[in-house]
Chain A
Amino acid sequence: MKNFDTLIKDLAPKKFGKRGVIWIGFLLIIIIAGIIAYIDQIIKGQVVTNMRDYALWGIYISNFVFFVATSFVGSVTVAILRLTNNTWRTPLVRIAEIIALAAIIMAGITIMIDMARPDRILNLFIHARLQSPITWDVIIIPTYIVISLLLLYFPLLPDFAILKKYFKTKQPKLSKRYGFLSLNWIGSKAQKLLQEKSIKIIAFMIIPVGILLQTIDAWLFSTTYRIGWDSTNFAPYFISGAFVAGVGALVTVIYVVRRFKKLEHYITGSHFDKMGKLLALACLIYLYFNINEYLIPAFTAKKGEAVHLETLFSGSYATLFWFVTIVGLIIPILVLLFKKGRKPLPMFFIGLIVVIGSWWKRFVIVTPTLLHPFLPIQGVPESWHHYFPSLHEWLITVATLAMALLIITLLVRYLPVIPIQRTADEQGLLKIDKNTKS
């Protein structure tokens, strides 16, 4: 067994290597390109997108839904695994919370990018109307951001105190900052009691809030009359989809972090095995809802619905639809059924295709429906009959994804990605009081 010093040495934040710097630079370039495209969109209007009166929502909205879905990982791993007393979650929870926080922040930003008049954003508060699902979103997203932030922050307090001590001589400036963030944590009994209680409350709160967040996201669509959206199945369908997207993102990020931070001792094959089982469960539930959403309606499809389903099954969206269903859902289930499929490297690839599939899945949910209105599309330019994102939309959307990755990268850089104190406690390495007193 290693001792406490090596534990800190392993888990304490380290400076970026050369690859890290290149990665950050790469992300920054993408983000700057996206910001330029966005400024252009503000100046010229959303005419720079390929959205038009029929395809009135595009990848900004599907990307928003993707971010919201991914942020669900915070509720799943931290809260649900906590409730079910799954102790193997310890080295994974912090990364999960980091992903959730980054995703929900970017969801908030992405929905504003879709607004054609961001200058009037205050109207959402001044003239708020409670019956609009957008107002529900305005309430739930900031709530989820705050809860996610607290759920990330509270368990960090003892770690900040440890880091303050650890960096005291090496990097006094950094140490001071960690000290500030540790809120004078000394690990006293009263503090620990308070911290434990707070975490417990937040962890309980994040479950209903997380479920509500996904539900409201689904209601944005199902409160309209549109074919393909007007479904009572939509909220649980979105929740189960979020479960898939979130765990998929978690697996992918964990693999990368483990590799570059050399955490093989902490995040072991058995963790991947368990995450694999969790992902398989998520995919199976999602498959069940997909059958409910697409296969069963085919039996009693009204005319409009029949056209919609046909576009998905064999029409212009068939390639995408079958890609997200087979590659993004069925293949992962099949691979994850085998123990070999749940080894770290295959898991990484599975996680990656699950995330990519999840992203395109939202595209398939948002766009085809809009192109099947009740009245035929007539009297508008031919190009309005289809939708594929413009360069501006791609640049901006890729930039939001890069921003999410940047937030994750920076948090992974400056925070101990594996809880030091908890790991020490669990491994019974040391008495806590002695080491956290600074």
Chain B
Amino acid sequence: MEENKNSRRKFLGRGLKLGLITTIGGIGLTKLATKLNAKNDAHSGKIMELMTTDGALIQIDSSEVMEMDHSQDHDKKYNVREGFPNRKFVMVVDLAKCKNALKCQSACNKHHYITGDNAWVKVYKMQESKDTAPYWMPTTCQHCDKPACVTVCPVDATFKRRDGLVLIDNTRCIGCRFCMAACPYSTRVFNWSEPKQGETSEITMEMDIEHHGHAASDPDHAGVPSIKGTVDKCDFCPHAIQNNELPHCVTACPNGVFYFGDKYEDTVNNGEETVRLSKLLTDKAGYRLMEGLGTEPSVYYLPPTNRLVDFEDGLEHYPEFQSVEKP
């Protein structure tokens, strides 16, 4: 009995090894065969001239050239988790121009049907120290390239796209709020209760949903509608980008504070002018919030120098305890 078992085990072991060798050998042989095939009509004498992706011209024997299948939907089909192909969205906020008009906030609140008490776009009253000047600082989601929120999400509800956006799938979110704890910019808000849009905005929201033709609760159009017990935040308005429009805060700002654009194209636009991103950032010494944390935000700030308006002017509509107007 004992011996029988042993011999069977040996047999199985040997069989396994044999199988493994056969497989590896088989793969090796096929590889070799393809190599041989390619060299069958070697040195046809015809030389082809080709350009590499970095622009250098090279010569190559025509027999080395093989036709390749074109990928079918590569870079064309839109995938909500991948984003717009070959784009990298960035924002520049010029603090010198901001005078706390709060139009960005109200436009964002309106277009994203924000129902809670905490707006996605905030304008902070800032002062680094007693002797330095106070200034107004608008914040959106920073759409970090190394987003702390995405790392800690247990269910992949919040995700980073190739086009730079950090979005939330609020049909998947389990409401653990770990992302909110992880975000150093306090940008995320939570739907503590059933979002109540009010009758009129509910009707417009329905129309909005129909107009865009997307399913309800689309990460591409956050807040339409919001869902109880899930996290919301600024989405950089991919629903507007899709129509070649600027995000709502950018167009709403009367002072041209926000520039939005594409890092690959190296251009940003504030609704009035289109400028070179790199030039703007070098000329005006752009910086990012809490660079030291290493989150690599997609939002750049220009320091509040040479301001056109007094800081105090903004104080008149500075509601300390409110960011969403209630009807």
Contacts and interface: CB of A to CB of B under 8 A. Distances in A.
B193 A120 contact: no
Interface string B300-324: 0000000000000000000111110
Interface in B97-142: 116-119, 122-126, 139
A380 B230 contact: no
A341 to B, nearest CB: 40
B191 to A, nearest CB: 7
B128 to A, nearest CB: 10
A63 to B, nearest CB: 15
A115 interface: yes
B153 interface: yes
Nearest to A383: B321
A123 B155 contact: yes
B182 interface: yes
Interface string B150-173: 011111110000000000000011
A299 interface: no
A56 B177 CA distance: 7
Contact of A52 (B151, B155, B192, B290): B192
A375 B156 contact: no
Interface string A343-377: 00000000000000000000000000010011111
B175 interface: yes
Contacts of A226: 181, 184
Contacts of B123: 379
Nearest to B182: A224
A116 interface: yes
A375 B155 contact: no
B321 A57 contact: no
Contacts of A374: 184-186, 290
Contacts of A18: none
A127 B81 CA distance: 14
Nearest to A227: B184
Contact of A45 (B118, B173, B182, B192): B192
Contact of A129 (B126, B139, B153): B153
B75 interface: no
Interface stretch (A1-9, A132-140, A146-154, A404-412): A132-140
Given A53-B190, A116-B230, A117-B229, A138 B182 contact: no
Question: What band does the interface of chain A fall in when counting residues whose beta carbon is under 8 Å from B?
Answer: 35 or more
B189 interface: yes
Nearest to B192: A47
B180 A133 contact: no
A376 B321 CA distance: 12
A53 B193 CA distance: 12
Interface in A84-127: 114-117, 120-121, 123-124, 126-127
Interface string B69-85: 00000000000000000
Interface string A363-403: 00000001001111111111010000000000000000000
A382 B319 CA distance: 11
A127 B320 contact: no
B309 to A, nearest CB: 20
Q: Which of A44, A46, A370 has the most CB of B within 10 A?
A: A46
B216 interface: no
B148 interface: yes
B215 to A, nearest CB: 17
A134 B154 contact: yes
Nearest to A116: B175
Nearest to B123: A379
Given A56-B181, A134-B154, A380-B323, A123 B117 contact: no
Interface string B267-307: 00000000000000000000000100100000000000000
A39 interface: no
B174 interface: yes
Contacts of B290: 374
Nearest to A131: B151
B20 interface: no
B11 interface: no
Contacts of B264: none
Q: Which of B188, B228, B293 has the most CB of A within 10 A?
A: B228
B265 interface: no
A128 B320 contact: no
A232 interface: no
A223 interface: yes
A181 to B, nearest CB: 35
Contact of A381 (B117, B181, B182, B190): B117
B152 A57 contact: no
B176 interface: yes
A115 B148 contact: no
A226 B119 CA distance: 22
A374 B322 CA distance: 19
Contact of A134 (B176, B191, B230, B321): B176
A225 interface: yes
B186 A132 contact: no
A120 B125 contact: no
B229 A381 contact: no
Contact of B186 (A49, A375, A382): A375
Contacts of A53: 116, 118, 180, 186, 188-190
A54 interface: yes
A332 B293 CA distance: 40
A44 B193 contact: yes
A52 B180 CA distance: 11
Interface string A60-92: 000000000000000000000000000000000
Given A57-B177, A226-B181, A378-B125, A129 B156 contact: yes
A-B pairs with lowest CB-CB distance, top 6 = A116-B175, A116-B229, A379-B323, A47-B193, A134-B154, A132-B154
Given A117-B230, A223-B182, A376-B124, 11 more contacts: A46-B193, A51-B192, A53-B190, A56-B190, A120-B172, A131-B152, A224-B182, A225-B293, A376-B126, A379-B119, A379-B122
12 contacts: A45-B229, A52-B192, A54-B186, A57-B181, A120-B174, A127-B156, A223-B152, A224-B182, A378-B124, A379-B322, A380-B322, A381-B321
